[in-house]
Structure 1
Amino acid sequence: MADAKRAAHKEAVEKADGRIECAPPGQDRFAYSCAIDIVESQDGLFLTLRHPDGGFRRLLVTRDGRGVTAADGAEHAQVTTLAPDLIEVAIGGARYRLPATVRQSTPAK
């Protein structure tokens, strides 16, 4: 990432004020426009990702290294690793960039 692009990204993160980078359905570009609610329950850690238009998605953080899965509904969450500390989740036409601890796969013996 070029220095100017890195600086612009850092500034956007600082101004996000608790928001995550997302591209809601119908949007091509990412912006820090989605709110995130995090709730821990006996069933696990749930993330509710709220769109600016009031729509939302609920995700369940997995413990098996996959990242997240859809917490409800029939749509599958597709997770892509972008960096060791960042994943992109695509579900229902929306895309979200979330901080994550990406586990390295271990070679088979």
Structure 2
Amino acid sequence: MIDCSLNGAGGFGRDCTMERVEQDVDSFIIVRHPDGAFRRFELGVPGRGLITADGAQQAEVTNRGGYVEVRVDSDRYHLPVSE
């Protein structure tokens, strides 16, 4: 479970799940919302870091020390930083 703030909600709740998926040589993070919607992010893109894998909206990533805050449109997620 991870903290997320969906549809422009003011606060965060531990309402979303996150899984890491390896596909061929690519790595993805899939964040699932409680209503079944999801977002997919590609990891480790040279020179770009974490990017939105689907859709036109690009992810804005802010390092918060210990986790990153990822914003896509009006949704925000707190993703753990792996060492």
TM-score (norm 1): 0.67
CA distance in 2, matches of 1:54, 1:26: 17
CA distance in 2, matches of 1:65, 1:29: 31
Is 1:86 the counterpart of 2:29? The answer is no
- Percent of pairs identical after alignment? 39
Q: Within 5 A, what are the aligned runs for 1:66-81? A: 66-81=48-63
Deviating beyond 3 angstroms after TM superposition, the runs of 4 or more aligned structure 1 residues are 63-67
Determine which structure has more spread, i.e. the larger CA radius of gyration: 1
Which amino acid in structure 2 is aligned with residue 70 of structure 1? T
CA deviations 1:37-85 (Å, max 9, x no partner) are 22111241111111112211110112546541001111110000100x3
User: RCO (CA 8 Å, sep 6+): is it higher in 1 or 2?
Assistant: 2
The structure with more helix, counted as a fraction of residues: 1
CA-atom RMSD in angstroms: 1.9
The structure with more strand, counted as a fraction of residues: 2
Of 29, 43, 54 in structure 1, the residue corresponding to residue 11 of structure 2 is 29
Aligned residues: 83
| Structure 2 unpaired stretches of 5+ | none
